[in-house]
């Protein structure tokens, strides 16, 4: 599966962090996502690269939804669609996709 399709599948499975818990680290997020079989062949190194690009690119609200979807696999696309300024959301996700394609290993 291409990184583009992988990113889209991640976006389609967005969820929210439970506020009482500390957010898991990048390594924990990637490890759990891959162990749960949701990485579509992505390596830990490629996942961490994607995580770092997202961390640097996305606003906090989008980032929280994305990282939680990676960790829990929750389908909550509706939450992403309810975020304010949908043009901002789409631009940031496109920019993230471009950064991942240019700077991260495919698998």
33 within 8 A of 72, measured Cβ to Cβ: no
Percent of the chain with pLDDT over 90: 64
Q: What pLDDT, on a 0 to 100 scale, did the predictor assign at position 14?
A: 42
- Reported as a single tens digit per residue, the pLDDT across 59-90 is 999 999 999 899 999 886 889 999 999 999 99
pTM of the model: 0.76
How many angstroms separate the CA atoms of 84 and 4, rounded? 24
Selection from 40, 9, 25 nearest residue 71 by Cα: 25
Cβ contacts of residue 54 below 8 Å, gap of 6+? 63, 66, 67, 96
Summarised one tens digit per residue, pLDDT across range 9-29 is 555 444 444 444 577 999 999
pLDDT of 43 above 90: yes
């Amino acid at each position: 599966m291409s990184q583009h399709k992988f990113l889209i599948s991640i976006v389609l499975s967005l969820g929210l962090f439970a506020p009482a818990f500390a957010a898991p680290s990048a390594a924990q997020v990637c490890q759990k996502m891959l162990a749960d079989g949701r990485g579509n062949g992505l390596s830990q190194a490629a996942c961490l690269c994607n995580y770092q690009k997202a961390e640097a690119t996305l606003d906090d609200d989008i980032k929280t939804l994305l990282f939680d979807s990676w960790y829990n696999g929750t389908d909550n696309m509706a939450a992403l669609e309810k975020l304010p300024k949908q043009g901002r959301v789409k631009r940031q996700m496109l920019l993230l996709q471009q950064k991942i394609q240019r700077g991260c290993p495919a698998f």
